[in-house]
Every structure is written in C-alpha cells, then in structure tokens.
Amino acid sequence: MLNRSDMFLVVGLTLVGLMMGLMLVASFASSARRFFQSARAQKGTNRTAGSLMVAAGAFLVAKG
C-alpha cells in the first residue's frame, strides 16, 4: 500500500515527466516552424503533398 510520501513522489515525478515532454514538443514545434518558413521547405512540402494526392487518386482509380 502506498503511503503519503510515496504518493507525493509519484505525483511529483509524473508532473516533472509531463513538463519535460511538453517542453520537448514545444521546442520541436518552434524549430519546425522556423524550418517550414523557408521557400525551399515549402516547395518540398508542396511536392510531397501533391505526390501523396496523386498516389491516392491512382489508388482509387485502380480500385475501381
């Protein structure tokens, strides 16, 4: 059975882990935002999205 100090430890470690995860996500989002603002990255993203749409269309046509 968990006593009071064990519960505080569990809650504290959970909060620290969640905050570290959120900071990692925020850091990745910030760097991704800076990367995707360049014209070269936008061009690559548009080409990738277009290729996926063409592939999906070809799949649907082939499926009949």
pLDDT in tens, 30-60: 999 998 899 999 999 999 999 999 999 999 9
Terminal CA-CA length for the chain: 61
With a cut of 90, say whether residue 6 has pLDDT above it.
yes
DSSP-derived secondary structure letter, 20:
H
pTM: 0.56
Residue 14's domain spans which residues?
4-63
Indicate the number of domains in the chain.
1
Greatest alpha-carbon span in the chain: 64
Query: Alpha carbon 45 to chain centroid distance?
Result: 16
